[in-house]
């Protein structure tokens, strides 16, 4: 049962503190942007497209004054906008699944690579099925919990965990010396 109450004078300091933090979007964004961009790159080819998607999602999220701690909602917004973007780009795409399948082989996460080992690892990540790759990206580079991943992707927590395990297992197989 929800309780009703009015704002009291004693809440004023709290409200003022929050108004100040409302301006501090840059620190939030600089912390989240690399993970958001990498997540967006699961669906689009270029970094520029990914930046467009992240910008739209973040501005929409911030404008609606959602709590910044609600990261699953932010990632869900990126995913939704990315899928819309792909649908618009692919004129003949009729269903989300079709779009997903079309982009699966083209999505290439962008990393700053130091050596050949990392290149091989990045290539192995690219070769993962999209449903496993998106869970892996959220878990490893955005550090979301399985519960948060489940909320962001609209799947169960168990499904998120099993996709993650499958992703790691597939990576291990791919990287094993022949």
Partner 1 sequence: MNDFAELENELRKLRPALPFPILFERVEQALGDCRAGASPAEERRSLVRRWGGLEAAPPWSLFGLGLAAAAVLVLFAVARIDWQHERRETIAKTSSAYETTPVLGGSQNPIVSGKFIPAGATHVVYHARDEGLYFADGSERPVRRVRYQTQQTWQWRNPTTGASLRVSYPTEDVVLIPVSGQ
Q: Which residues bind partner 1 (CB under 8 A)?
A: 2-7, 9, 11-12, 14-16, 18-19, 22-23, 25-26, 29-30, 33-35, 37-38, 47, 51, 54-55, 58-59, 62-67, 109-113, 117-118, 121-122, 125, 136, 140-141, 165, 168-169, 171-172, 175
CA distance 84 to 1: 37
> Pick from 127, 130, 139, 129: which is nearest to 164 by CA?
139
Nearer to partner 1, 36 or 93 (CB): 36
Nearer to partner 1, 88 or 173 (CB): 173
Nearer to partner 1, 97 or 114 (CB): 114
Quick one: how far is CA 178 from the chain centroid? Answer: 33
Minimal distance, residue 7 CB to partner 1, in Å: 4
CA distance 126 to 144: 20
**At CA 82, angle to CA 139 and CA 74, rounded to 5?**
50
Burial level of 177, CB count in 10 A (0-12/13-18/19+)?
exposed
Minimal distance, residue 124 CB to partner 1, in Å: 10
Nearer to partner 1, 98 or 113 (CB): 113
């Amino acid at each position: 049962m929800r309780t009703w109450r009015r704002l009291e004078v004693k809440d004023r300091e709290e409200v003022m503190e929050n108004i100040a933090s409302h301006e501090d979007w840059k620190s939030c964004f600089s912390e989240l942007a690399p993970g958001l961009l990498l997540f967006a790159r699961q669906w689009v080819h270029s970094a520029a497209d990914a930046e467009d998607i992240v910008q739209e999602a973040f501005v929409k999220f911030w404008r609606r004054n959602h709590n910044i701690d609600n990261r699953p909602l932010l990632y869900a917004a990126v995913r939704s906008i990315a899928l819309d973007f792909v649908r618009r780009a692919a004129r003949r795409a009729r269903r989300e699944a079709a779009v997903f399948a079309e982009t699966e082989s083209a999505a290439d996460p962008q990393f700053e690579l130091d050596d050949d080992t990392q290149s091989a690892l990045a290539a192995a990540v690219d070769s993962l099925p999209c449903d496993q790759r998106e869970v892996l990206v959220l878990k490893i580079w955005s550090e979301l919990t399985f519960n948060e991943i489940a909320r962001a992707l609209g799947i169960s927590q168990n499904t998120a965990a099993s996709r993650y395990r499958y992703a790691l297992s597939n990576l291990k197989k791919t990287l094993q010396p022949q």
